[in-house]
Amino acid sequence: MTPESPFYADSLKCLQESTLFGELDRETLVDILSRCRRETWKQRRLLPLEETWQRFHILLSGRVRLSRSNPHSGRMITLFLHGPGDGFCLFSLLDGQPHDLMLETLDDVALLSIPMEETREWIAAHPAFNRALLPYIGQQMCVLANLAEDLALHDTETRLARLILRHMDDAESAHAEPRLINDLSNESLAEMIGSVRVVVNRQLQHWKQEGIVDAHRGYLAVEKLNALAQRAEQQLASPLAKTSMLQ
């Protein structure tokens, strides 16, 4: 992609606003753009990670989820939900191996991709990117740790409350939509907390009656953030657990 490209300015802006690339200087970002391949994937595209693991991907717009499923029971668990500015195929970047993950686009997505080998060379050549990458990997590990904790220690109500709170940006707002998950189906929400659609549906209806959330088909907003936070904390035994919830 050259600076004359009609997609250049938006791509650069997306990188500048991202956690992973936001601290890098313009020259480095321009170098990334010149090396990356621009791609678009249509909504609801399913890709086994075996097809994509040889490239590192940077999401420019839309959402991608990475999940695992049990082919016998059909049950699915969402491990990561990525939005603009996120990088994915991180595990393969670290260990050079394919992983048993299913990748699904929730929207039409635009992304940049670069071969893994070139990404590794690039990391070596740009210590600033390496410094940004390590905390980012740490964040992704926290996502997995939180999921494991939720599944092992908490009931569905707490898990759902914690999921929504993790996607809230503005803690002060009385009526706020959670990031990335505000228009997901109840089934998709259930797949993020290891539950099933009917249970999530029942819980949201219950909270709706209490005025904690505003939820209807494909829409979710939080009306009473403190009340939701209480539901998330009610089963947390230790201060350490409370801290991890906010990460």
Dist. CA 60–CA 38, nearest whole Å: 9
Strands (E), the chain: 37-41, 46-48, 55-61, 64-69, 76-82, 87-88, 102-105, 109-115, 213-216, 219-222
Residue 180: CB atoms within 10 Å: 17
Site for other proteins in 69-108 (CB under 8 A): 108
Q: Restricting to residues 179-238, name those near other proteins by CB under 8 A.
A: none
In this complex, which beta carbon is closest to other proteins, that of residue 6 or of residue 239? 6
- Minimum CB separation of residue 106 from other proteins in Å reads 13
Contact flag: residue 56 with other proteins (CB under 8 A): no
Using the minimum distance from each CB to other proteins, give the nearer residue, 211 or 218. 218
Query: Which part of the chain contacts other proteins (CB under 8 A), choosing from 41-49, 69-77, 80-88, 158-166?
Result: 41-49
Query: Smallest distance, Å, CB 179 to other proteins?
Result: 20
What is the C-alpha separation between 18 and 97, in angstroms, rounded?
26
Closest among 164, 180, 150 to 82, alpha carbons compared: 180
Q: Does 239 bind other proteins (CB under 8 A)?
A: no
Contact between 46 and other proteins (CB under 8 A)? no
**Residue 148 token pair:** 């494991």
| Residue 61 engages other proteins in binding (rule: CB under 8 A) | yes
Q: Which residue bears the tokens 């893994």?
A: 116
Of 37-45, 82-90, 149-157, 224-232: span binding other proteins (CB under 8 A): 37-45
* Contact residue for other proteins among 23, 28, 30, 45 (CB under 8 A): 45
Asked if 2 interacts with other proteins (CB under 8 A), we say yes
Q: Which is nearer to other proteins, 12 or 110 (CB)?
A: 110
Report the Cα 169 to chain-centroid distance in Å.
14
Which segments of 83-153 are extended strands (E)?
87-88, 102-105, 109-115
Measured from the CB atom, the residue of 34 and 130 that comes closer to other proteins is 34
Is-contact 136 19, C-beta < 8 A?
yes
Tokens in use for 21?
């690339």
Is 5 one of the binding residues for other proteins (CB under 8 A)? Answer: yes
Which residues of the chain form contacts with other proteins (CB under 8 A)? 1-2, 4-8, 37-42, 45, 61, 108, 110
